[in-house]
């Protein structure tokens, strides 16, 4: 069942790329973005991770991101560690959180992303080097992003329409800055 604006977050505990177990209770009292990705070697996902990592400081010190991947931990460590993310990156190999948040799976979304975002895909693979030689996770997982307030309430639920469709960064920044202005 998809989550929507006004819903509370669903608690979770998942392995992080640093080997620890990350529990969603750590987020109490904070605003954050919960971002669901595809498999760890996905070119679009690696571009998004690069974007979030390089622009993270623009979000202010009180805001964070939690990235969840449809991959086993060892595979996620192999691909996500290179970004040196300043936020938690988690593995959900059994799709526990994916089910709780109603994350979609779509072959049509994969094809739409490949064809509609071909220049981006080629850039990711051949300029940035994000070539998916090993795919561990579902190919048809679609991305999703949730902006959550300090009370654990989802303010924005964004389900990607194709494999490269995430909530635009300027909307994430606006949500984070709104939080900073309200302090």
Q: Where are the domains of the chain?
A: 17-181
The per-residue pLDDT for 112 is 96
Calculate the average pLDDT of the chain: 93
Question: Is the CATH number of domain 17-181 3.20.20.70?
Answer: no
- 125 or 182, which is more confident? 125
Average pLDDT over residues 30-38: 97
Average pLDDT over residues 88-117: 96
| pTM for the whole structure | 0.93
Q: What is the DSSP string of 150-181?
A: TTSBEEEEEE-SSTT----HHHHHHHHHHHHH
Per-residue pLDDT for 24 more than 60? yes
């Amino acid at each position: 069942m998809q989550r929507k604006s006004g819903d509370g977050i669903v608690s979770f505990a998942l392995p992080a790329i640093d080997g620890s177990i990350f529990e969603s209770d750590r987020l109490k009292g904070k605003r954050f973005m919960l971002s669901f990705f595809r498999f760890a070697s996905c070119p679009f996902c690696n571009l998004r991770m690069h974007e979030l990592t390089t622009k993270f400081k623009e979000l202010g010190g009180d805001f964070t991101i939690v990235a969840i991947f449809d991959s086993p931990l060892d595979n996620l460590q192999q691909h996500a560690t290179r970004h040196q993310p300043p936020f938690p990156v988690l593995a959900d190999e059994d799709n526990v959180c994916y089910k709780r948040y109603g994350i979609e799976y779509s072959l049509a979304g994969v094809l739409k992303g490949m064809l509609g975002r071909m220049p981006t895909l080629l850039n990711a693979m051949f300029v940035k080097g994000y070539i998916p030689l090993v795919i561990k996770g579902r190919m048809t997982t679609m991305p999703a992003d949730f902006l959550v307030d300090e009370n654990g309430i989802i303010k924005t639920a964004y389900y990607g329409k194709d494999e490269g469709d995430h909530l635009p960064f300027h909307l994430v920044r606006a949500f984070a800055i709104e939080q900073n202005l309200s302090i």
